[in-house]
Amino acid sequence: ASDCDDARRVEGEMARMAARRNRVIRVALVGNPNCGKTSLFNIAAGAHEHVGNYSGVTVDAKEGTFEHGGYKFTLVDLPGTYSLSAFSPEELYVRKSLTEEMPDIVVNVVDSSNLERNLYLTTQLIDMDLRIVMALNMYDEFRKRGDELDTERLGQLLGMPLVPTVSRTGEGIDRLFDTLIHVYERKQPPLCRHIHINHGVELEQSIARLQALIKQDQGIRYKYSTRFLAIKYLERDKDIETVVEGLPGREEIIATRFEEQKRIGELLHMQLDAALVDAKYAFIQGALKETYVPAASGLASRRTPTDRIDAVVTNKWLAFPLFFCLLYLIFQGTFTLGNYPMEWIEWLVGEFGGWISTYMADGMLKDLIVDGIIAGVGSVLVFLPNIMLLYLFISLLEDSGYMARAAFIMDKIMHRIGLHGKSFIPMIMGFGCNVPAVMATRTIESRRSRLITMLVIPFMSCTGRMPLYILMAGAFFPRCASLVVLGLYVLGIVVAVLSAHLVGRFVKEEDLPFVMELPPYRIPTMKSVFRHTWEKGKQYLHKMSGIILVCSVIIWFLGYFPNHNDYDTVAEQQENSYIGYIGKAIEPVFAPLGFDWKMSTGILSGIGAKELVVSTLGVMYSGEGEEGAASAVTGDTPLQRALLRTVTPAAALSYMVFVLLYFPCIATFAAIRQESGGWRWALFSAVYTVCAAWVVAYLIYRLALLWL
Ligand code: GDP
Ligand code: MG
């Protein structure tokens, strides 16, 4: 049987070879002037074109044919260009021949001793959505200088195989053509994939708008990548202008570009085309920073201001201390600066409630407005300044270019927990509010990393949990309250890290590598900082006007009915309301954690928003403590005194832990559903976080019982 198999295999191989013989692979050589295209062409095709050392020698394309690995190759040596805009006849010629001749594969010849500049052309080839293999030429000189490059990693990031070559001697040429065959036969899927250069949120929005308009023409996409057309059109490329403005939606397209130019000009204080070039270099910088170590001697030459700042900011020893100092300053600034407006808002809310109480006739409507809406929404509104400030700082860091470096610094650590450097920014934002944090995961290209990040963000302790910490840590652990709060933050991070490990096993998505762009440092414009701050803060406001309002009313309703007028004290009335029934029904679930039915009810309402835990407790315990009007202990609130009487410190601790970890509030849940594209991961997150919270809170409770 095995003889037979062998015979069949040989036969199959023969047939494949025969089939190949008739097949022609058409290859175009594209690269900067003097990168060695003609030399490569000559050594491969055996031709003897004149090899020159100045640009412009190759005026038009030379074509040559030869065989390799059973295939016939047609090789076209195109003129050297730095870019694919329509500025020079060479550029236009190369672009025309790429779109019109449609070679099977493009060989991007790159002078490896000048990667940064050469890769600029590569980013444009990527925009054109071509199948590319990169010849890392002049590799002899590269080696001699002692530079180091992780070619495999760079290939992964760029979505194309990289083959080192020396076209003067022919070294690596065979491997180059073997690789071409592999790519042609699609045998190398992981390295050959289509990536998008990420131009940053703002520019990508411009590109997407135009691309959508261009795409309305069905025919165009067979000839051009619509993304390429959109980008080139935004760059005001004359040649592409005639193509795009010949489309049916002409007027709208022209108007859209005008709008986008204006928008970007105001936001970034620069022209759209310049911004696009910058973004491409940011991509190249990011890709090289991860893969390329130039020999020490090459470093001293031509350092830009960005290089100099980077030398400090990403320095091996300084990076982390600097970063944590910044974080500390931000959190400190958020709380101290945020305190003033917080007090004003607290005062305003109080006045407003008081004013309504005085001037409105007694009755159900008044109770609803004062105890339900004003108390509920007001308790959340108070944190708005804190959150806005945090976002202001984060936007400043983002727009100045520092955040990209922070992501870079954290990348190695984040990889160790199965995440990506880019996951770090959303996680930090999670300390403000989880909702915009989940939205911010959009910048993570790999779906796997994005999903995992989304699922661990709810463990980042958002400001919504702060009121409970302040209430309980202040009441039960007055001497070490801030330590307890810090401990809770750290616990959240630890659970997030462990969860990233664990959840990673359930996320079956493929993990595709991507570049972390490193834009140049820039002084942020006021307009863009405020816009970015506002965009993030809007989510929070939205949450308040929607979910928190509705939940406050529901909780008030459940606590008010039935039997509102049948009891003398609020406590009795609460106990015999719907909320009392529900709280008692779920009490057994939480009894092992030390919570009574009132605390359990707080947990329930916290599903709406974690701020509601405190407002619910406030209502639940409001009948509890007012027997002696003035307590001897000053600074304590009535609610704190009431809690101290009925709750043990161990239970308080486990309660804070549970609230920290359990169900991401409804708004976050909705955000996860939206961003992950379905219910599945949102439900997973809900179940997972509740289980995690129960287990961790139980352990903490038992441990605390031993000590406290
Ligand atoms: P083109 O402008 O891209 O066609 O580049 P050419 O093929 O004309 O080469 C430009 C110069 O680079 C010539 O002097 C070549 O001899 C030299 N060159 C080409 N490939 C290599 C290489 O791999 N290593 C080295 N050291 N020099 C090379
Ligand atoms: Mg040439």
Is 2 touching ligand 1 by the criterion CB < 6 Å? Answer: no
* Distance of CA 93 from the midpoint of ligand 2 (Å): 14
Give CA angle at 21 (106, 16), nearest 5°.
100
CA distance 636 to 474: 8
Reduced DSSP (H G I as helix, E B as strand, rest coil) percent helix, strand, coil of the chain, to 5: 65, 5, 25
Give residue 694's identity as a one-letter amino acid code. Answer: W
Is 121 touching ligand 1 by the criterion CB < 6 Å? Answer: no
Is 166 touching ligand 1 by the criterion CB < 6 Å? Answer: yes
pLDDT of residue 51: 63
Q: Quick check: 184 and 25 in contact, CB under 8 A?
A: yes
Is 600 touching ligand 1 by the criterion CB < 6 Å? Answer: no
Is 421 touching ligand 1 by the criterion CB < 6 Å? Answer: no
Is 164 touching ligand 1 by the criterion CB < 6 Å? Answer: no
CA distance 476 to 278: 54
593-597: long-range contacts, CB 8 A cutoff, minimum separation 24:
593/651, 593/654, 593/655, 593/658, 593/694, 593/697, 593/698, 593/701, 594/648, 594/650, 594/651, 594/654, 594/655, 594/701, 595/651, 595/654, 595/655, 595/658, 596/646, 596/647
Is 157 touching ligand 1 by the criterion CB < 6 Å? Answer: no
CA distance 157 to 662: 37
**How far is the first Cα of the chain from the last one, in angstroms, to the nearest whole number?**
76
> Nearest Cα to 516, choosing from 412, 365, 366, 668?
412
487-493: long-range contacts, CB 8 A cutoff, minimum separation 24:
488/461, 488/656, 488/657, 488/660, 489/431, 489/461, 491/657, 491/660, 491/696, 492/459, 492/460, 492/461, 492/660, 492/661, 493/459, 493/460
Give residue 312's identity as a one-letter amino acid code. Answer: V
Q: Quick check: 612 and 552 in contact, CB under 8 A?
A: yes
Ligand positioned closest to the Cα atom of 33: 1
- The full 3-state SS of 424-468, as one line of letters, equals HHHHHHCCCCHHHHHHHHHHCCCHHHHHHHHHHHHHCCCHHHHHH
CA distance 373 to 366: 10
Protein residue whose Cα sits closest to atom 10 of ligand 1 = 34
CA distance 429 to 389: 12
Q: What are phi and psi of 171, to 5 degrees?
A: -65, 130
Is 140 touching ligand 1 by the criterion CB < 6 Å? Answer: yes
Is 227 touching ligand 1 by the criterion CB < 6 Å? Answer: no
Contacts of 563 (CB under 8 A, 6+ apart): 573, 576, 577
Q: Quick check: 376 and 612 in contact, CB under 8 A?
A: yes
Contacts of 104 (CB under 8 A, 6+ apart): 25, 26, 27, 131, 184
Torsion angle of alpha carbons 520, 524, 528, 531, nearest 10°? Answer: 120
* Distance of CA 72 from the midpoint of ligand 1 (Å): 25
Query: What are the 10-residue block averages of pLDDT along the chain, 708 residues in total?
Result: 66 67 86 92 77 55 84 89 84 88 93 92 94 94 91 93 93 93 76 85 94 88 88 91 88 94 91 92 92 70 77 84 86 79 84 84 80 76 81 89 88 83 88 87 87 94 86 86 88 92 82 83 89 84 76 79 67 75 87 89 84 79 50 56 86 94 87 88 93 95 87
Element of type H or E holding 109: strand 105-111
Protein residue whose Cα sits closest to atom 18 of ligand 1 = 36
Is 580 touching ligand 1 by the criterion CB < 6 Å? Answer: no
Protein residue whose Cα sits closest to atom 17 of ligand 1 = 36
Could you identify the atom of ligand 1 that is nearest to the CA of residue 35?
A: 3
Is 110 touching ligand 1 by the criterion CB < 6 Å? Answer: no
* Distance of CA 34 from the midpoint of ligand 2 (Å): 7
Query: Which class for 628: exposed (0-12), middle (13-18), buried (19 or more C-beta within 10 A)?
Result: exposed
Structure-token pair, residue 17: 């070879």
* Distance of CA 229 from the midpoint of ligand 2 (Å): 28
Whole-number Cα distances in Å, 415 to 219, 401, 548, 677: 43, 22, 36, 24
Is 38 touching ligand 1 by the criterion CB < 6 Å? Answer: yes
Query: 433-446 burial by CB neighbour count: b if 16+ within 10 A, else e?
Result: bbbbbbbbbebbbb
**Number of alpha carbons in the 13 Å side-chain half-sphere of residue 48:** 0
CA distance 448 to 51: 48
Ligand positioned closest to the Cα atom of 112: 1
Helices (H) and strands (E) in the chain, counts: 34, 8
CA distance 700 to 484: 13
Contacts of 633 (CB under 8 A, 6+ apart): 641
* Distance of CA 80 from the midpoint of ligand 2 (Å): 7
- Out of 54, 167, 173, mutate this one to test ligand 1's pocket (max ligand atoms within 8 Å of CB): namely 167
Is 678 touching ligand 1 by the criterion CB < 6 Å? Answer: no
Is 91 touching ligand 1 by the criterion CB < 6 Å? Answer: no
Q: In what order do the strands lie in the sheet with 62-68?
A: 62-68, 71-77, 24-31, 105-111, 132-137, 162-164
3-state DSSP assignment of residue 516? coil
pLDDT of residue 288: 93
Could you identify the atom of ligand 1 that is nearest to the CA of residue 42?
A: 7
pLDDT of residue 636: 64
Query: Using the 8-state DSSP alphabet, how is residue 87 labeled?
Result: S
Ligand positioned closest to the Cα atom of 137: 1
pLDDT of residue 626: 45
CA distance 638 to 121: 68
Is 137 touching ligand 1 by the criterion CB < 6 Å? Answer: yes
pLDDT of residue 633: 40
* Distance of CA 75 from the midpoint of ligand 2 (Å): 13
Protein residue whose Cα sits closest to atom 6 of ligand 1 = 36
* Distance of CA 20 from the midpoint of ligand 2 (Å): 30
* Distance of CA 34 from the midpoint of ligand 1 (Å): 6
CA distance 78 to 31: 8
* pTM greater than 0.85 (yes/no): no
Is 574 touching ligand 1 by the criterion CB < 6 Å? Answer: no
Query: 238-266 burial by CB neighbour count: b if 16+ within 10 A, else e?
Result: eebbebbeebebeeebeebbeebbebbee
> Nearest Cα to 489, choosing from 604, 327, 672, 651?
327
Is 168 touching ligand 1 by the criterion CB < 6 Å? Answer: yes
Is 79 touching ligand 1 by the criterion CB < 6 Å? Answer: no
Is 584 touching ligand 1 by the criterion CB < 6 Å? Answer: no
* Distance of CA 48 from the midpoint of ligand 2 (Å): 12
* Distance of CA 115 from the midpoint of ligand 1 (Å): 15
* Distance of CA 294 from the midpoint of ligand 2 (Å): 27
CA distance 671 to 500: 19
Structure-token pair, residue 106: 């493009």
Whole-number Cα distances in Å, 547 to 377, 437, 677: 10, 18, 21
Could you identify the atom of ligand 1 that is nearest to the CA of residue 52?
A: 8
Q: Quick check: 641 and 633 in contact, CB under 8 A?
A: yes
Structure-token pair, residue 615: 């407002």
Could you identify the atom of ligand 1 that is nearest to the CA of residue 55?
A: 2
pLDDT of residue 697: 95
Structure-token pair, residue 34: 């003097």
Greatest Cα pair distance in the chain: 105
* Distance of CA 46 from the midpoint of ligand 2 (Å): 15
Distance from the Cα of residue 468 to its chain's centroid: 29
User: What is the total residue count of the chain?
Assistant: 708
Residue for token digits 């849940």?
Answer: 669
Is 573 touching ligand 1 by the criterion CB < 6 Å? Answer: no
* Distance of CA 95 from the midpoint of ligand 1 (Å): 22
